[in-house]
Every structure is written in C-alpha cells, then in structure tokens.
Amino acid sequence: MSFALTRTPPWLALSWGMLFPSESYVSLTTVAVPDPRVAAAVRGDRAAAQSLCTELLPRVRNLVRYLVRGDADVDDIAQDSLIAVLRGLASFRGEGTFKSWVDRIVARTTFAHLKVRRAAANSHSNDSPELLAVPGEGQSDAYVLRRQLAKMLDGLPDEQRHVLVLHHAMGMTVPEIAETTNTPFETVRSRLRLGMASLRDQLEPGGESR
C-alpha cells in the first residue's frame, strides 16, 4: 500500500493554521502580489526592512519554536533567521509567496543552528519551558493551542517533528523535505507516518497531551 500524506487531518489542521496567525495555511501555496517593501529594503530602505521584520517576527518565532525543543534558543535563532532573510532579499525572485520563501530560510537557519549545537555536544536540560508569548499576543485561545501543539511536538524525536512541521505547516512536499533535510525519500515518508501516529496517540484518552 502506498503512503501519501497530502492533507492535514481536520483535528490537526486548526493547530497548524494557528502557527501563522496572520494568514491561512492554504495561502502559503498561492502566489501573492509582490510586497513593495521587499524591493525598497533591497535598495537600502531601513524603514521598509524594519517594517518587514516587525511583521515577520511572530511568524518566524513560532516556526522556530515548532522546530526546536524548548524556548532557550528560540529568540537567538529567530534573530539569526531575520538577519538571513534581510541578507538574502536580493535573491527573492517572486516565484512563490514571500512568506513561504522566508519560511524556508528560517528552516535552514534553524537546522544549521541545531547541527552546530549537536556538534558542540553541550549538556542541556531536556525540560521544555513554557512557550513564551510573542509581545502583544496575550493568552488567547490561539496562543494556548499553539503552546499545546508545541508541547506535543516536544514529545517527538527531532527527525519526526521536523518533517511534520515542514510538511504540514510549511506545505513542503516529501521530495522537497528530502532535499532540504538531505534525507532519503522513503525515510521522510516513514518519519511523517510515525510522527502523525505519535501525535494521534497523544490525543487519545490518557495520552500525554490530556
């Protein structure tokens, strides 16, 4: 039986959608009208660059938090990601939405950070602190749902949580994930299947998320 994970289950679609409060999940796959601030920032307009960063920060921070375990490094990685976005603006060709292009930079920056952290072999606590609120976000239902999903993802091996976020939150296909993570195609599919099964188990009565 072939395995394909092209749709987000209804019980999880809402949670993934909450990752990006300012736009719906499906909008990630549509081509948007070019944002004039991008061209302005490339020309050196600091106000345009600041405006872009301010708008992107909650989205970037939420994505980083889904990809890493706990909050300790989230702000540093988010900052590095925004710097990478600004440095790479001139390479944006408008072949997809700007925010989906940003998502991929954030993912690459996060994976690079995790690789360095693993190589350093520093001793860190496995405890997962509370998910910090983005300034101005407050304790809304959306925030609580994102925090719950982050806690559930913390219960997965990194390999599974990464492919789940790339596939369901960023809309990447299995081949794209395989290329991004330098992982065999079948391994990516297996991790998606196992990760989804684990999340479902957590939602069952008596599961960890209950």
pLDDT digits (tens, 9 = 90+) for 16-36: 554 444 443 333 334 455 788
| CA-based nearest residue to 203, from 154, 158, 148 | 148
- Mean pLDDT of the region 43-70: 90
The answer to whether the beta carbons of residues 103 and 63 sit under 8 Å apart is yes
Rounded-to-integer distance, Cα 161 and Cα 175, Å:
17
- Mean pLDDT of the region 93-121: 83
Rounded-to-integer distance, Cα 23 and Cα 111, Å:
24
Torsion of CA 97, 24, 172, 85, to 10 degrees: 50
Residue holding tokens 């949580």? 161
Counting residues of the chain whose pLDDT is more than 70, the rounded percentage is 69
Band of pLDDT at residue 207, cut at 50, 70 and 90: low
Does 4 score more than 50 pLDDT?
no
Rounded-to-integer distance, Cα 173 and Cα 167, Å:
6
Backbone angles phi and psi of 3, in degrees to 5: -115, 130
Q: What does DSSP assign to residue 44?
A: T
Rounded-to-integer distance, Cα 107 and Cα 110, Å:
5
Hey, what amino acid is at 141? D
pLDDT in tens, 160-183: 999 998 888 888 899 999 988 889
Hey, what amino acid is at 115? K
Q: What does R_g of the chain's alpha carbons equal in angstroms?
A: 17
| CA-based nearest residue to 97, from 177, 27, 169 | 27
Residue holding tokens 């909450």? 18
Q: Which CATH number fits domain 10-120+140-203: 1.10.1740.10, 3.90.1260.10, 3.90.650.10, 3.10.20.600?
A: 1.10.1740.10
| Mean pLDDT value across the chain | 75
Q: What is the pTM of this model?
A: 0.66
